[in-house]
Chain A
Amino acid sequence: MTLESCNSPYDLNGQNFDAEIYLQKLFKDYNLKQIMDHEVEIIHDTQTLHSDMQTLVYENYNKFISATDTVRKMKYDFNQMEESMDMLAKNMDSITSFSEQISSTLQSSRHQITRLSSVHSLLKKLQFLFKLPNKLKDRIKDENYSQAVQDYIHAQRVLNQYGNMPSFQGIQKDCEEIVDELKDKLRTQFHKREASTKLLAESIDLLLQLKEPTDVLCADFLIHADIRLSELLENLKDMCENDIIEFVDMGSSGFLSDLCLIVASYNDMFVNRPPLDTNEFSDDFDTKAVSRLNTFIMNNMKKYFDLVKKRVENVADTVILVRALDRFYRRLQAMNVLSEDTDFSRTGTEIVITAGRKQCRNHLSALKQYLSETLAKVRQTLASKVSSNGDGGLAELQALLVMPTIEKIKGILQDLLVFLQPELSFGLKPQFLQRFCIDEVREGLVIGFLHHLTAIANGFCTGLDAPKFPPTLLLLLSKMCLEFKDSNVHYLLSSTDNLFNVDEYASSKSDVTSEMEICDNFQKAAQELLNHFVRLQGLTVSQMLRKSIETRDWLHTIEPRTVRAVMKRVVEDITAIELQVTALYDDIDGQMDRSSDSSRKTHSVSRHQYRSNWSSFTPSHLDSSFVSSIHKLFSERIEIFSSVQFNKMSILTGIIKISLKTYLECVRLRTFSKFGLQQIQVDTHYLQLYLWRFVSDENLVHFLLDEILSSAVHRCLEPILMEPSVVDIICERN
């Protein structure tokens, strides 16, 4: 319903209802019938409203009557209450006056009592104070310092309060003197060298209670602790000579436990104090104290570690070393509680690894030492034996060089295995295992030694002239390298890998030196040594031949009757070399029978061949350069300083090649008379007879000797050769 409609003059129930307007509207809008109906309706409504009003009045009438009754009754009751209240007020007044009377009579005596009791307590305190100096003295005398301090602290406040009164001043002075004395006593106790840490802590505690400056105290405390610890360290240092286990135990029980105790009491006293003194211990001080403690711990642990490191470096017995390291490491792990910031076990692992490394290094240097000793021994044997007889037991020497070394390495590996026992405290650390097994044992020790071996071997190959060792040594070493390459390297590496689980710990293949690489090195070294051996021996023989040709006057020599001694010497030398080589190297495979009976036949055949070749050098066919040119056309170029193979034939061929080539070059630089030429003819024939059996391809010897002879023919003023039969006879005679 809108406001307008509500205010409309046509609304019967509205405020602005205007009967006139309403009627006019009715008359206008409705017809008569409707108006009539509306009138009836309005009359009806009016009547209903009227009856409703009457009912309401009737109902409420009764309620008015009862309310009037109630008001009348209340008026009466209030009058009665007023009277009793008046009575009560009167009584209260009388009570107040009585009580005032009583208290006034008792007041005087009560004052008295209060005063008396306060006097009593004061007196008691005074008595305590007066007695205090004596008591303190007694306590100090009884060394009951803590009680003394307690007492003093009790009295202190009072003394401070009344300190300005002359009578108390005396006491205070006395007390202070005594307490100063006490402090001194405590300090001396504190500074006493033999004072135990616990006692120390007590003194500190008391001093703290006496309000000594904490800063100074904790510094003092640490300094003192430092002194004590360094004493212990000194002791430990003296112990260095002793057994390592004893040393470590001593370190653990003495130094480390003392350090723990000191740290614990320090923490109790300075760091974790009850918060009651918060004013004094500012945050700043707290952190300072902690850092001071930390540097203290670090310093001492460092010293300790240094000492242990030094001690651990030189232990011969691995088992004992490992046991000691184990104990050390266990104790360290416990130490970790001391300081949150640092992980001592890492340093510990570091030390253990260092010890392991050191142990490996020791073993390595022992091995090297052993090797050089063996080498020296072998050299000595060679020097003394080779001069006396041929093969000189080279095979045994060879075995002597290799087997014990291998055994020694095996022993060392077993020895080092102790480090890997599973029950060891540090054995679980992967960083230890990896570094120890890979870096130290495999790479450092085994590979390192193998490298050392090849380096030693290669060291013998430098410098061509005047070797300071018997050349046979080269042969031996070459063979040794070959053996290593063939079997020993593999054996050593695989057993190392097995024992130390290298495959498991190696993070990648590149971490470990491969067997191939080492084998290659050995192969190279062996080849190098053998080549060097051949060149050296070739050089020795060459030198002999060169001197023999250069120093002789070939123009004025007599008719040859014998083979020159040099040639015999050459053959002897080569035979001796062959003996040595045979001891170590095989012939070419399948040609072992060359030295047996069948060779005799070959020999004679070769002589036949030789003779037939020979004819070309008779005076009628002097143009031998033609023959040799033909030969050159069909034969391969001869490499003189070439690599040799690992067999006897190749080695000896190499030596003979070098020697004969020298012979050839020397002949070409000389001029010969007829007899000089014939001497060369005899000599070459002799060489032909004895050298063929050493080489794999006897044509090579033939060719070189032909070359020598033909060169000699060229260099001869009067080239007339001897009758081959005479040459034969001369050679046979020798």
Chain B
Amino acid sequence: MEKDIPVIYGLEFQARALSAQIAELDTVRFFVGTQSLKLNNNQVHLVELNEETGNLKTQIFQHPIGEIWSIQASPTDPDKFITCYNTLTNEGICQMKGAIWKLFISQEMNDIIPLEKLADIDTTSYGNDLKNIAYHPIDNKKAVSVVDNNFVLWDLSYKPQVVTVGTLVGKGQPRFTSGKWNPHNTCNQFVTLNENNVQGWDFRDPKEPAWSIISAHSQIIRDLDFNTNRQYYLATCGDDGYMKFWDIRNLSEPVMSKIEHSHWVWSIRINHFHDQLVLTSSSDSRVILSSIASISSEPFGHTIPLEENVSISETCTKERLEDGIIGKYEEHEDSVYAVEWSSADPWTFASLSYDGRLVLNKVPRKYKYQILL
């Protein structure tokens, strides 16, 4: 694939759930979960990009018990993932549930393969509004579910068992909108979002939030992401159209605050390898790739081993990436609710719009070389 042509894959259903196959480090693969209210029609698509040819290979799995609102690939097992889905009870009431699934790769391309449900993660006793279930960043035996005003730590070793529960108390029935593990500090911290607040919790003492950013955004915060290479740094985005970067040691002010989208920003992802690259997706049907080199972990210019004197002139000319927009991707025609970096190739990312269009894009070569060289 010589040119950076976006690869588009259309699903026949609407979709919001997207996850990279995190445990897979060689092939660019993404899980996509569909959202259809014909509940037994729902599917999980495993989309694989052949980096040589630029072609896509997909496998479709049956997810017959409800529409998928969130999907999370296991950090260690390529064939396992968790979905949060909406299903109807016998009384005709919608209910959000979670389950761990295992997939089997079949050689037959056109088949719709059934999935094996490994276990249910039953969160109904903590509330109905299950937002997401987040795998521990490295341990596939642990996951946290975010339900109503609770976040629940599960031990998945045998059967899912509750380890710790944290509850947000406050006036007017506060509800979490999302949550994420902090990958630093031996993963003891979980960060939740509710309305326009961000709160960090410590599992060892989940009664009170360890820290909070009250009114981080002026409206609802939709998503957050950690910088995996730089401790304490996290990014948030929300309905005010802003993306903000925070240093959790100093919560009074964001480190950086930018508005690039012309509507709500639904998702923000910092590249795990080159953390100056940030993706945001928005309901203005755009995906924007920005550079935040000024607060990235990457040092300004590389230190060169002495014997490579020859290349000095070259490396000296290397300029730090400017902060700002690197790419604007307008292949979508509906709101883009999810965007993810590939776990296999740091330059590839996928975005998913509500109309079921999955677009795989690459970081423009110019910037790629600028970062690498």
Residues of A bordering B, CB below 8 Å: 463-465, 539, 555, 625, 629, 632, 637, 639-642, 661, 665, 668, 671, 714-717
Contact = CB atoms under 8 A, between A and B. Distances in A.
Nearest to B263: A640
Contacts of B86: 671
A464 B220 CA distance: 12
Interface string B27-46: 00000000001000000000
Which residue among A463, A640, A671 has the maximum number of chain B CB atoms within 10 Å of its CB?
A640
Given A661-B283, A665-B264, A464 B37 contact: no
Contact of A665 (B92, B215, B262, B283): B283
Nearest to A639: B262
B354 interface: yes
A637 B285 CA distance: 9
Interface of B: 14, 37, 86, 88, 92-94, 215, 218-219, 240-241, 261-264, 283-285, 330, 333-335, 354-355
Which residue among B240, B263, B284 has the maximum number of chain A CB atoms within 10 Å of its CB?
B263
Nearest to B67: A671
Given A464-B218, A555-B94, A641 B37 contact: no
Contacts of A665: 264, 283, 335
Contact of A641 (B14, B94, B263, B334): B263
Given A465-B219, A641-B241, A671 B262 contact: no
A180 B93 CA distance: 123
29 contacts: A463-B218, A464-B218, A465-B215, A539-B219, A555-B92, A555-B93, A555-B94, A625-B355, A629-B355, A632-B333, A632-B334, A637-B330, A640-B263, A640-B283, A641-B241, A641-B262, A641-B263, A642-B262, A661-B263, A661-B283, A665-B264, A668-B354, A671-B94, A714-B14, A714-B37, A715-B37, A716-B37, A717-B37, A717-B88
Contact of A629 (B14, B92, B330, B333): B333
B197 to A, nearest CB: 13
Given A464-B240, A714-B14, A639 B284 contact: yes
Nearest to B286: A637
B219 A464 contact: yes
Nearest to B240: A464
A640 B284 contact: yes
A625 B334 CA distance: 11
Contacts of B241: 641
B103 to A, nearest CB: 27
Given A465-B215, A671-B94, A716-B37, 8 more contacts: A465-B219, A632-B333, A637-B285, A640-B263, A640-B283, A642-B262, A668-B354, A714-B37
B354 to A, nearest CB: 7
A477 B14 CA distance: 45
A133 B37 CA distance: 135
A44 to B, nearest CB: 127
Nearest to A642: B262
A661 B86 CA distance: 24
Contacts of B333: 629, 632
Main SS class of interface, B: loop
B128 to A, nearest CB: 11
A640 B218 contact: no
B81 to A, nearest CB: 23
Contacts of B335: 665, 668
Contacts of A625: 355
Nearest to B284: A640
Contacts of B219: 464-465, 539
Which residue among B261, B284, B330 has the maximum number of chain A CB atoms within 10 Å of its CB?
B284
Contacts of B263: 640-641, 661
A555 B89 CA distance: 12
Contact of A640 (B37, B215, B262): B262
B346 to A, nearest CB: 30
A705 to B, nearest CB: 16
A717 B284 CA distance: 27
Nearest to B337: A668
B173 to A, nearest CB: 11
B239 to A, nearest CB: 8
A535 B297 CA distance: 36
A560 B7 CA distance: 44
Contacts of B215: 465
A513 to B, nearest CB: 30
Nearest to B14: A714
Nearest to B259: A641
Contacts of A632: 333-334
Nearest to A658: B263
The 7 closest A-B pairs by CB, nearest first: A464-B218, A465-B218, A640-B263, A639-B262, A641-B262, A632-B333, A671-B94
Contacts of A629: 333, 355
Contacts of B334: 632
Contacts of B92: 555
Contacts of A539: 219
A342 B129 CA distance: 86
Given A555-B93, A640-B262, A714-B14, A671 B37 contact: yes
Contacts of A668: 335, 354
A321 B75 CA distance: 81
Nearest to B334: A632
Nearest to A707: B334
A671 B36 CA distance: 11
Contacts of A463: 218
B359 to A, nearest CB: 15
Which residue among B88, B93, B285, B335 has the maximum number of chain A CB atoms within 10 Å of its CB?
B335
Nearest to A554: B94
A465 B285 CA distance: 25
B102 to A, nearest CB: 28
Contacts of B261: 641
A539 B285 CA distance: 20
Contacts of B240: 464
A632 B357 CA distance: 14
Contacts of B283: 640, 661, 665
A539 B219 CA distance: 10
B146 to A, nearest CB: 15
A599 to B, nearest CB: 31
Contacts of A637: 284-285, 330
A632 B355 CA distance: 12
A471 B355 CA distance: 36
Nearest to B264: A665
B314 to A, nearest CB: 41
Contacts of A717: 37, 88
A680 to B, nearest CB: 15
A640 to B, nearest CB: 4
A484 B262 CA distance: 29
B256 to A, nearest CB: 17
Contacts of A642: 262
A641 B37 CA distance: 31
